[in-house]
Amino acid sequence: MAVSRSSSWFHSWNPPNPVLPDTYYKIDHSFNEPESTEWRPLPWEEQQHLQKGNQKTAKPPSILPYLLSFGLLAGLHPASNAPRLGKFRENRELERTGPFTTWYAWKQLDFAFQSEEQREAAIENGNFIPENNLPLGIEVYGDRLFVSMPKWKDGVPITLGVLPKYPLDTEARIEPYPNWDFHNTNDCDGLTSVYRMEADECGRLWVIDSGQIEVTIKPKQVCPPQIHIFDLETDKLLLRYDLPEEFIKQDSLYSNIKVDVRKGRCEDAYAYVTDVWRFGLVTFSLREMRSWRITDHLFYPDPLAAAYKLDDLEFEWTDGIFGMALSPVLNGDRILYFNPMSSFREFYVRTSVVQNETGWNDVKDAFKVLGQSRGKSGHASASAMDRNGILIYNQVTRNSIGCWDSRKPYLRQNLGVLANDNDTLIFPNDMKIDQERKQNVWVITNKLPFYLYKKLDPSEINFRIMSANINEAIKGTVCDPKTFGSQHPFDEELDCY
């Protein structure tokens, strides 16, 4: 099933075009509001870093014939909303957390084994230890939800699964994705330990497989970190790409992925992958079948944010760059927002910078601080931005979901809260925004620190998947574009966190 990498492609680099010609930019909302187009100001930091000139970046040679030779472009298609795995039963009672509806709630995970005998055998031989299974990553596409279960401990039978988007049973058993064969392998041709995944507009699921197991005991890098790309129409593997050996540092952990596709150019996609423990960002070019590793001091954890407290549990993490979100396309470029897990701040860079293999390091101050700190206990895990420029992020030590309207300066007064609950939102870990016409945000909560340092109570609900319509969730909050936000600058010397 492996696809070998192409020979090295090299192209010259020139300074990237400025994102914008002036201090305002225009976003086309025709997808959501056919008759509405709205002007919005740049983030205030970006106004101070506008570059002059109109240099053009040289284009690399096309690898389209190479991809076609492997059938990598076959079956690409837009998202489909046709039902596949069942119909939601509308008359049952559902748990609500502010604007969020809980669709799944598990005390312990269970899986759709091929028979009850197989399930009992897996428990008997230790291949399935229910209390060792924890859901981490989430993605939604069409009528399906995808969930990852990294192999942090023994007894995790599958590392990537699929569920109906709207369930008949809130404690449904998770089906292996794409099938059991990918999870019953003793080599690196299958899936080893998946952390997160993302579906693109071309109907493909991009999966980052860390290749690392038993991280709670003594981490073992049994396979190279890999990017798997599946066709969501056929569930067939289109591509498997091994990250180069030199990218695997001591204690590296590749745990998050963000996919960048422009105007349906499916063969020219990029993926950005974070190394949370060794503080690097890998850019992968599908066209070139190459990747390069980027480093910057803003990828590192903040020592002042390394201490965490959840209820009575206190611990320290030194996790670096983790959360990522992509802005809408702005004059041919996008902004990649990012944050280390152990940090109270948000940062950003233009994607034209990180897409230049040989030139990213030559752009002075390309990686920038975004506005003000989120304040004490302002840890953020996953984040995502909708088509309207609304950034939504999980606040893991506040048991809440935060938001920011990118038309407004990134100030604490302009950071809203969509939901907060010390029961249903304990450690919101991953989130995704779907591709529906009216977009929804999907969140998975999993009590991760308690799983790592204590023991989850099997009589309590420990894992939830919930969603909210974004327009309804932000209505009337500071994240609503119709509300006025603070425009006052802040004193950086007094911004302690």
* pLDDT tens-digit map of 5-18: 333 222 222 323 33
What pLDDT is recorded for position 491?
Answer: 62
Q: Can you read off the two tokens belonging to residue 326?
A: 């992509």
Q: Can you read off the two tokens belonging to residue 252?
A: 């590296």
Domain extents in the chain: 78-494
What pLDDT is recorded for position 218?
Answer: 85
Q: Which CATH architecture has domain 78-494?
A: 6 Propeller (2.120)
- Give average pLDDT by consecutive 10-residue segment, the chain, 497 residues: 32 30 32 34 42 36 39 38 41 85 97 96 97 98 97 96 91 96 90 98 98 89 97 98 94 96 95 97 98 97 96 95 96 96 97 93 90 96 97 98 97 97 98 97 98 96 98 97 80 59
What pLDDT is recorded for position 250?
Answer: 85
Model-level pTM? Answer: 0.82
pLDDT tens digits, 76-108: 333 333 334 344 445 467 899 999 999 999 999
What pLDDT is recorded for position 51?
Answer: 33
Output the CA–CA distances (angstroms, integers) from residue 413 to 54, 342, 368, 378, 416, in the order listed: 36, 22, 21, 14, 8
What pLDDT is recorded for position 75?
Answer: 37
